[in-house]
């Protein structure tokens, strides 16, 4: 007999509106992501739309992704945007010195990125070069993209094929400037940001949302010192910052496809510790910005497994299993449950790199288990997050990951992983509950008690597989995919549904 795992959904306890940008993506010039993951060129035998892979466009359009971050990552602070405009045959060939000294032909530049975003229906997010670049270079890039009037830069954009401005809203001033973006200390970066931001202008019809480099992991000192500099050094510059971007990778336990049940739990504990990153950095930001005018975002996150044996180390190619799907689900549910303090999150990365949505090989393109989580969670976007309280049994107190997880909380709090983790939201009178059964081997009956509403019939959709190592390959591309939705009858404010082990589930129904 299956155990019963109980959760409470309190419709009256509203948390905040779930920003659609929490489902953001990240596309860096790294490994096989851009070439051939997105760009194959007009003359390729692979079907394409003006050089962009058609199968990738077709796969991503149904997800209605809200935003894609580009060109990096570490690549961004060595990237000079003028190398990626104009006739492709005249663009300089450079080397990607952060990622294996790979050749960079610059065939995929600003215009190609904007075309890709428009093809899949997403907003562009551009990371500017604050490491090796200049304030003028970044300011010129913004004018080139966003100015609709008559200037040398807008004329150049038109000559390169874009009569109308691109209207790019999201601009980051550097990436990981404590490391690959210039090895700066917090005060040096805070001053660099302020100087460069000074020359990033709003143009008619396009208001810039400027994003500053935040901390890596639990580096509380970085957040405190940049915030202190912006607020207290000579005059208050906090108004120049619209968002602060933290990074958090939960890493691995075992390998991408080979791990024990204990390692399954270890990685999910590390993934759940992202809650500490969010709450810890927001608490420090609140000391300087109590009205929360500056958003907190996490623009790099996800798993980071050992490189596949037949791939180069610099390519960061990894497979993607049901464990990765659970990492994604746990993380997205945590974001929902903190919808009042987090604005954007960009998983790393879109195609062929780290925790990718798609894998491509030659003319073949497949979806990963993580792709299906993003599909499953779409109804949460722009919904009102409401309180989700899990009464499920604890299955892991951190184990080998305990000290690692404790370090992710500003108050050094320990982490306990419960069997059922999830979130809930309401939009247009429809309740959406998503959850992960984090137990690697035990199915359960999930009992949902609803406070502040009633349900009749609900639609239940599951992402599940009998093997915790299950993943899609080019020979078996549908090993892991969403099951056909089933209709389950609720009894007033109580619902029970079978929840397979190591799975992700969505429950949707109209509130009475």
> Is the separation of the CB atoms in 444 and 437 below 8 Å?
yes
CA atoms within 13 A on the CB side of 418: 14
CA distance 373 to 365: 18
Q: Which of 246, 220, 242, 219 is nearest to 345 (CA)?
A: 246
CA distance 434 to 468: 19
**What residues are labeled active site?**
176, 300
Where does residue 64 rank: exposed (0-12), middle (13-18), buried (19+ CB within 10 A)?
middle
DSSP letter for 188, please: H
CA distance 181 to 483: 43
| DSSP assignments along 338-403, one per residue | TTTT--EEEEE-SBSSSS-SEEEETTEEEE-HHHHHHHHTGGGTT-EEEEEEE-PPEEES-GGGHH
Pairing of strands 3-17, 444-451: parallel
Q: Which of 369, 335, 376 is nearest to 355 (CA)?
A: 369
């Amino acid at each position: 007999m299956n155990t019963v795992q109980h959760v409470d959904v309190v419709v009256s306890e509203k948390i905040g509106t779930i920003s659609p940008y929490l489902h953001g993506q990240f596309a860096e010039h790294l490994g096989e992501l851009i070439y051939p993951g997105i760009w194959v060129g007009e003359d390729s035998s692979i079907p394409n739309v003006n050089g962009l892979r058609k199968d990738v466009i077709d796969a991503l359009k149904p997800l209605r992704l809200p935003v894609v971050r580009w060109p990096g990552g570490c690549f961004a602070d060595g990237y000079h945007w003028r190398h990626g405009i104009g006739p492709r045959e005249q663009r300089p060939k450079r080397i990607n010195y952060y990622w294996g000294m790979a050749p960079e032909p610059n065939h995929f530049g600003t215009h190609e990125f904007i075309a890709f975003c428009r093809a899949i229906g997403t907003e562009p997010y551009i990371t500017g070069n604050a490491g090796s670049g200049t304030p003028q270079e970044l300011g010129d890039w913004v004018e080139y993209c966003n100015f609709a009037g008559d200037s040398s830069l807008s004329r150049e954009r038109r000559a390169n094929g874009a009569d109308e401005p691109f209207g790019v809203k999201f601009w980051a001033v550097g990436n990981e400037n404590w490391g690959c973006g210039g090895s700066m200390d917090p005060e040096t970066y805070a001053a660099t940001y302020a100087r460069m931001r000074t020359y990033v202008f709003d143009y008619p019809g396009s208001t810039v949302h400027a994003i500053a480099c935040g901390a890596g992991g639990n580096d509380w000192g970085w957040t405190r010192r940049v915030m202190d500099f912006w607020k207290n050094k000579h005059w208050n510059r906090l108004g120049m910052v619209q968002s602060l971007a933290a990074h958090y990778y939960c890493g691995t336990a075992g390998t991408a496809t080979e791990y024990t049940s204990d390692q399954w739990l270890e990685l999910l504990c590390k993934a759940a510790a992202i809650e500490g990153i969010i709450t810890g950095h927001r608490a420090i930001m609140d000391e300087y910005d109590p009205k929360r005018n500056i958003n907190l975002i996490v623009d790099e996150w996800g798993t980071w497994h050992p490189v596949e044996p037949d791939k180069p180390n610099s390519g960061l190619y990894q497979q993607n299993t049901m464990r990765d799907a659970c990492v994604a689900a746990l993380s997205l549910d945590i974001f929902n449950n903190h919808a009042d303090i987090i604005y954007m999150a960009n998983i790393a990365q879109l195609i062929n790199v780290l925790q990718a949505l798609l894998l491509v090989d030659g003319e073949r393109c497949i979806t990963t288990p993580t792709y299906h989580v993003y599909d499953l969670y779409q109804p949460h976007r722009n919904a009102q997050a409401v309180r989700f309280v899990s009464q499920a049994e604890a299955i892991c107190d951190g184990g080998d990951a305990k000290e690692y997880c404790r370090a992710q909380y500003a108050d050094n709090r320990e982490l306990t992983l419960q069997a059922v983790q999830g979130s809930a939201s309401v939009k247009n009178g429809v309740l959406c509950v998503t959850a992960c059964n984090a137990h690697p081997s035990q199915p359960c009956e999930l009992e949902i008690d609803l406070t502040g509403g009633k349900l009749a019939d609900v639609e239940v959709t599951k992402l599940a597989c009998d093997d915790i190592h299950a993943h899609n390959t080019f020979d078996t591309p549908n090993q892991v995919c969403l099951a056909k939705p089933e209709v389950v009858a609720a009894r007033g404010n109580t619902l029970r549904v079978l929840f397979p082990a190591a799975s992700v589930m969505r429950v949707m129904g109209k509130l009475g």
